Amino acid sequence: MKCELEQTARTPAYGLIPDVANRFSKEYALKLFTQICFNRFFEFEVKKAYDKGLMKLPIYLSVGQEHIPAAIASVFSDCLIFAQHRAHSVYLSFGGDPLQLIDELLSRPSGCARGMGGSASIHSQQIGMFGHSGLMGDQVPIAVGAALGAEKPVLTVMGDASAEEDYIYGALGFAVTKKLPVLFVCEDNDLSILTRTPVRRSWTLCGLAQGLGLPAVDITDDPWLIAHHVKELSQQLPALINIRTCRGLWHAGSGCDGPPEWDRFALIKDTMRILGLENDITAIESDTERTVQGLWAERLQKS
């Protein structure tokens, strides 16, 4: 008998609702695409600076996954945020000041975590984002604890490997029992550093969450699809969304070992074309790239 994971193929169309992007306006698509481009070009600038040796601490780039927080933040905002190491795009999508993130990555006291957190521990009081400790998955029970006392909904983002830590299960169960307003998100890139999921486990996070009584969906990383489900799930918290995605670069650092299983950025542009926004794609891409490069140039000039 095949295990649950093997029965659910990794494809860019997994769980896709046909024409889901048509459920949103063109203005929405333009704003979403702008944020996605901002996150993506920001990461390319981090890579350039890192490759020049300007960063003292390890970096964790979200290239290939940069559209996930953009989609979540577009429909789920004003929340407390508990993410893990791959979180530049989470910070930017939820309104974090890009200049403070640049400073943080350069270990400057003017960084969002006073230069002491670095890439792996992005903390910002301004946007209610709590820096990660480095212990995989511990942000999940901490997020649930925060939800017990918070007056806002709580977002926690984990990876498919962090989802295997035992303290996640107690946290999910406690959130269900106490009906806490937590949205659990798993950025499932099918990798724990280099080990693929079926080597590590035979069960799905979505199946586990449903077993505990949480509403949960397991979908591909189309941003309109994510926004659609997050909108629905946010009415039934606590809830979980497992998003199958592809890491574009190495676990840490800026290397690349080949093309990802699918190129979501290219697929997003296809959807923009289908929506009749062909002409906006190039304009948004080049404007955003120029803006991001300007921010980095300005910051790098400062000593």
Ligand X SMILES: Cc1ncc(C[n+]2csc(CCOP(=O)(O)OP(=O)(O)O)c2C)c(N)n1
Residue numbers of the site for ligand X (CB under 6 A)?
86, 134-136, 159-162, 165, 187, 189, 191-193, 251
Considering only CA atoms, which of 49, 53, 64, 32 is closest in space to residue 230? 32
Q: Is 84 in the site for Mg ion (CB under 5 A)?
A: no
CA 98 to chain centre: 16
Dihedral angle sign, alpha carbons of residues 40, 113, 172, 80? negative
Dihedral angle sign, alpha carbons of residues 80, 162, 87, 94? negative
Cβ atoms of 300 and 53 closer than 8 Å: no
Whole-number Å distance between alpha carbons of 295 and 261: 32
Which of ligand X, Mg ion, none has residue 297 at its interface (CB below 5 to 8 Å by kind)?
Answer: none
**Residue closer to ligand X (CB basis): 35 or 84:** 84
* Span near Mg ion by CB under 5 A; candidates 25-33, 114-122, 153-161, 262-270: 153-161
Q: Which of 103, 160, 218, 221 binds Mg ion (CB under 5 A)?
A: 160
Least distance in angstroms from the C-beta of 14 to ligand X: 17
The encoded tokens of residue 27 equal 């203005």
**Residue closer to ligand X (CB basis): 119 or 192:** 192
Which of Mg ion, ligand X, none has residue 193 at its interface (CB below 5 to 8 Å by kind)?
Answer: ligand X
Which of Mg ion, ligand X, none has residue 74 at its interface (CB below 5 to 8 Å by kind)?
Answer: none
Which of ligand X, Mg ion, none has residue 251 at its interface (CB below 5 to 8 Å by kind)?
Answer: ligand X
Residue number, nearest CB to ligand X: 159
Considering only CA atoms, which of 302, 292, 301, 296 is closest in space to residue 41? 292
- Tell me the residue length of the chain: 303
Q: Is 159 in the site for Mg ion (CB under 5 A)?
A: yes
Residues that bind Mg ion (CB under 5 A): 159-161, 189, 191
